[in-house]
Amino acid sequence: MIVELGHFALVLALAVAVVQSTLPLVGAQKRWGGWMAVAEPAAMVQLLLVAVAFGALTWAFVTSDFSLRLVVLNSHTDKPMLYKISGVWGNHEGSLLLWVLILALFGASAAIFGGNLPATLRARVLAVQGMIGVAFLSFLLFTSNPFLRLAQPPLNGEDLNPLLQDPGLAFHPPFLYLGYVGLSMAFSFAVAALIEGRVDAAWGRWVRPWTLAAWIFLTIGIALGSWWAYYELGWGGFWFWDPVENASFMPWLIGAALLHSAIVVEKRESLKAWTILLAILAFGFSLIGTFIVRSGVITSVHSFANDPERGVFILMILAVFMGGALTLFAARAGTMEAKGVFSMVSRESALVANNLLLSVACFVVFIGTIWPLVAELLWDRKLSVGAPFFDAAFSPFMVALAALLPIGAMMPWKRAQVGRAMQPLWGVLLLSLALGALVWAMQTGRSALGPVGVILGAWVIFGAAADLWQRTGRGALAAKLGRFTRLPRADWGKATAHAGLGVTIIGVAAMNAWATEDIRVVQVGESFPLQGYEVTLVSVNQVQGPNFISTTAEMALSRNGTQIALLQPEKRVYPVQAMPTTEAAIDYGFLRDIYLVIGDPQENGGWAVRAYWKPLANWLWIGSGLMALGGLLSLTDRRYRVAAGARRGAAAVPAE
Amino acid sequence: MRLILSLSLCLALLAAPAVAVQPDEVLSDAGLEARARLISRDLRCPVCQSENIDDSNADISRDLRLLVRERLVAGDTDAQVIDYVVDRYGEYVLFNPRARGSNLALWLAGPAMLLVGGGLAFGYLRRRKAEVTAAGLTQEEETRLREILKQ
């Protein structure tokens, strides 16, 4: 019964979305207040209905209702409760329902926080959001219905893929979808502005928090996914340039470009057409990502939902939304006059360079991702494009970006001088080069990757610090310190996010340049050295888990005879899915991770053991975290809160 | 995300796979082994989802790893080893597509886009700059301004 209610709520949500996407649009055109006012309650009701549907599906998973096809395919009574819940979105249908739930959540937030928007713009934004809802609710109901029943329910389910039975699944997809779907707000704002035919500083200010929020979620989602792969897959890789990863990385890059160009719109009323285009493309790449992940066209061998019918449906959604938005853009872009004037060397130009590098980098990822498809269609060549290509073709753009970043961030608006911008940075440059030289001397190999990464990272980190210090103006140290703590949060956000990029760059370079690996056969009780540590295989035991059988090793990690950690790497077999997984054991540290994996028993005794030393691994996640934190600081800046506060005050009056 | 889709056939089909590089595969000559690892990074497991043969658990990847080492021990150069594998398994196993023929377009796409975009951006910035001058002061006003500032 509960399942039927959920199913019915989903159908109702589609009907509401149809209303939300039409009436307000007509109302805004004809200036009919009543029709425009439909948008907000519709958005709220849509959220409520989709939430009911999601709740119903979760209920079916939690109670192991095996009359539901989806539950049978992805659950089992023995599965721990956490994975029964996260299993709701550990499959195509359920994850799409989560996608639609988040879409409705953003629509409702726009209705709640959109009080300060002009009535017509608000109605149009919500109408466009409604159209996206119509598209994806139809996709869900017509091709991927999660509420299908089975005529003859089996006694038990087929369990969830063991790789997905991890806390990572509970958090990674929701964040990623919050990011993907959040970019739909930027898209809706862009299309609404095109329909209005007006883009001004206020528009830049409205669209930026939404983009920022989406980008923060996307950053966290990608970092969580990368960390999950790092500890779960069993060899400590963190980024594979897999089509599916690229699918999430492309919107991230365009989103980052959009964040920066929206600043120019907000502060200087320039780059308007370009910003609108980026807002359209950012969501376009989200849709392309959805297409790549769910159609299975590019990943070909296996995928979430390897189904041509679904692929065609998403392709149609992509064609309608991108085609429509870009046509509108072509018709209206000419009317968007730039107001602000600026010289060739200025903050504006630096942000143009930032946008150029980020967009071209995204383009490289895009070409590399679809190239196998292109080559097969055009020349019947079956080929692969993988990490070596992306490392070579993508990295130069990031190097250029990092090299320019501190100088650009230091430049004033309108007119700048490179010499003056560099003045506080010479010391930073010297310091970074000195650190690079030190690292070069310390490392054993002769790879340039490590030192170059350290130079770039230090340049960006200390450059961000210098930028912050520069903001405190002139005068005595005490006065500067006083102003330092009172700088606007946006300044702190900018510096934090930039420093986060620097930290990530160092982490990536260190992992690629210096990580070491040791593969060997170890007898129980035997020890072996690893980068100044000693690893001892204490014992290996068979352990029965809730829905798996585990081979658990006890390994002691010691330094100079003192034990510092007892690690328990595991090898598990999940009988229901007949699938083994490796659970690495990691001793996390600020400067290095020790990563241990237990392999198979050997014929003449002993166990295969793989031990990795991963220098600065945590800097990857710390750096990503700093980027997200920087975004959050910027999001809570006073100028956004003032606008929100003003509205809250106004809304409080009738309540009294 | 990759994990969600990593329902790779190679994992699902095998009950007890050999996990990645095994101790018995490692060559005693550290130099050759290092070269083997570098070559392996460029070779794709033919039955997995974008995994190189080092990271893959599939039997065929083990065969390929052994093949690479066999060729290295026989005295092949890195390029010869890769050619040998590509001749037998096709271009598909190459993660680093060769910059030849139609693949040139792939390799040149990024730099070409940078040039085009850079040109457009440069043109745009020049126009903005022209407007700075146009919107700025006339020669006469500039002279007058300078005089006022002197006083």
Distance of CA A625 to the CA centre of its chain: 12
Task: State pLDDT tens for residues A105-132.
Answer: 999 999 998 878 888 899 999 999 999 9
Averaged pLDDT, A474-500: 86
Q: What is the dihedral of CA A133, A134, A139, A142, to 10 degrees?
A: 140
First to last CA, chain B: 68
Q: What is the pTM (predicted TM-score) of this model?
A: 0.89
Chain B: give the shortest CA distance to residue A41, in Å.
34
Alpha helix (H) residue ranges in chain B: 2-5, 9-13, 30-41, 59-73, 78-89, 103-135, 139-150
What are the Cα distances from residue A318, in Å, to A193, A221, A324, A359, A570?
20, 23, 10, 20, 43
Output phi, psi for A104, to 5 deg: -65, -35
First to last CA, chain A: 41
Option in B42, B90, B118 nearest A388 (CB):
B42
The residue that leads in pLDDT, A302 or A372, is A372
Q: Give the range among A178-187, A344-353, A524-533, B25-34 with minimum mean pLDDT.
A: B25-34
Is the per-residue pLDDT at A330 higher than 70?
Answer: yes
Is the per-residue pLDDT at A283 higher than 70?
Answer: yes
pLDDT value at position B137? 59
Q: Give the range among A469-478, A505-514, A640-649 with minimum mean pLDDT.
A: A640-649
Averaged pLDDT, B125-135: 66
Q: Which residues of chain B make contact with A344, given a CB cutoff of 8 A? A: 125-126, 129
Chain A: give the shortest CA distance to residue B93, in Å.
7
Domain boundaries, chain B: 8-93, 113-150
Task: State pLDDT tens for residues A341-379.
Answer: 788 888 888 999 999 999 999 999 999 998 988 888 888
Distance of CA A33 to the CA centre of its chain: 38
Q: Give the range among A72-81, A191-200, A454-463, B8-17 with minimum mean pLDDT.
A: B8-17
Residues in contact with A315: Cβ distance below 8 Å, sequence separation at least 6, in sequence order: A291, A295
Averaged pLDDT, A33-43: 87
The predicted complex's ipTM stands at 0.81
Averaged pLDDT, A169-196: 90
Alpha helix (H) residue ranges in A541-637: 617-635
Chain B: give the shortest CA distance to residue A28, in Å.
34
Is the per-residue pLDDT at A254 higher than 80?
Answer: yes
pLDDT band at residue A299 under the 50/70/90 scheme: low
What length does chain A have? 656
The residue that leads in pLDDT, A282 or A546, is A282
pLDDT value at position A160? 77
Q: Give the range among A65-69, A265-269, A341-345, A399-403 with minimum mean pLDDT.
A: A341-345
pLDDT value at position A642? 52
Is the per-residue pLDDT at A273 higher than 70?
Answer: yes
Task: State pLDDT tens for residues A211-231.
Answer: 999 999 999 999 998 998 888
pLDDT value at position A448? 86
3-state SS of A175-228?
Answer: HHHHHHHHHHHHHHHHHHHHHHCCCCHHHHHHHHHHHHHHHHHHHHHHHHHHHH
Is the per-residue pLDDT at A270 higher than 90?
Answer: no
Is the per-residue pLDDT at A302 higher than 50?
Answer: no
pLDDT value at position A652? 36
Task: State pLDDT tens for residues B6-63.
Answer: 433 333 333 334 457 788 788 888 888 888 888 888 888 887 777 888 888 788 888 8
Report the SS3 class of residue A529: strand
Residue among A73, A339, A389 with most chain B CBs within 10 A, to mutate: A389
Do residues A349 and A268 lie in contact, with contact meaning Cβ atoms separated by under 8 Å? no
CATH superfamily, domain at B8-93: Cytochrome C biogenesis protein (1.10.8.640)
Q: Find, in chain B, the residue whose alpha carbon is nearest to that of A597.
A: B19
Averaged pLDDT, A255-279: 90
How much of chain B exceeds pLDDT 70, in percent? 77
Task: State pLDDT tens for residues A382-399.
Answer: 888 888 899 999 999 999
Q: Are the beta carbons of A293 and B5 separated by less than 8 Å? A: yes
The residue that leads in pLDDT, A45 or A152, is A45
Q: Give the range among A118-127, A147-156, A302-311, A552-561 with minimum mean pLDDT.
A: A302-311
The DSSP secondary structure of A616-648, one letter per residue, reads: THHHHHHHHHHHHHHHHHHHT-HHHHHHHHHHH
pLDDT value at position A469? 87
* Per-chain mean pLDDT for chain A: 87
Q: Which residues of chain A make contact with B11, given a CB cutoff of 8 A? A: 163, 579-580
Report the SS3 class of residue A600: strand
What are the Cα distances from residue A582, in Å, to A552, A585, B57, B114?
10, 10, 11, 43
Averaged pLDDT, A291-303: 61
What is the C-alpha to C-alpha distance for residues A466 and A468, in angstroms, rounded to an integer? 5
Is the per-residue pLDDT at A628 higher than 80?
Answer: yes
pLDDT band at residue A484 under the 50/70/90 scheme: confident
Q: Give the range among A23-32, A191-200, A230-239, A459-468 with minimum mean pLDDT.
A: A230-239
pLDDT band at residue A305 under the 50/70/90 scheme: very low
The DSSP secondary structure of A296-331, one letter per residue, reads: -TTTTT--TT--HHHHHHHHHHHHHHHHHHHHHHHH
- Quick one: tokens of A358? 């980020």
pLDDT value at position A93? 87
Option in A382, A519, A580 nearest B91 (CB):
A382
Task: State pLDDT tens for residues B63-84.
Answer: 889 899 988 888 888 888 998 8
Averaged pLDDT, A406-418: 86
Averaged pLDDT, A15-30: 90
- H or E element, residue B23: none
Report the SS3 class of residue A564: strand
Chain B: give the shortest CA distance to residue A538, in Å.
19
- Quick one: tokens of B77? 């150069």
Do residues A194 and A276 lie in contact, with contact meaning Cβ atoms separated by under 8 Å? yes
Residues in contact with A236: Cβ distance below 8 Å, sequence separation at least 6, in sequence order: A230, A515, A584, A593, A595, A612, A614, A617
Q: Find, in chain A, the residue whose alpha carbon is nearest to that of B113.
A: A360
**Does any CB of chain B come closer than 8 Å to the CB of residue A371?**
yes
Distance of CA A466 to the CA centre of its chain: 28
pLDDT band at residue A279 under the 50/70/90 scheme: very high
- H or E element, residue A571: strand A570-574
Q: Which residues of chain B make contact with A382, given a CB cutoff of 8 A? A: 90-92
pLDDT value at position A651? 37
The residue that leads in pLDDT, A478 or A330, is A330
Averaged pLDDT, A405-411: 89
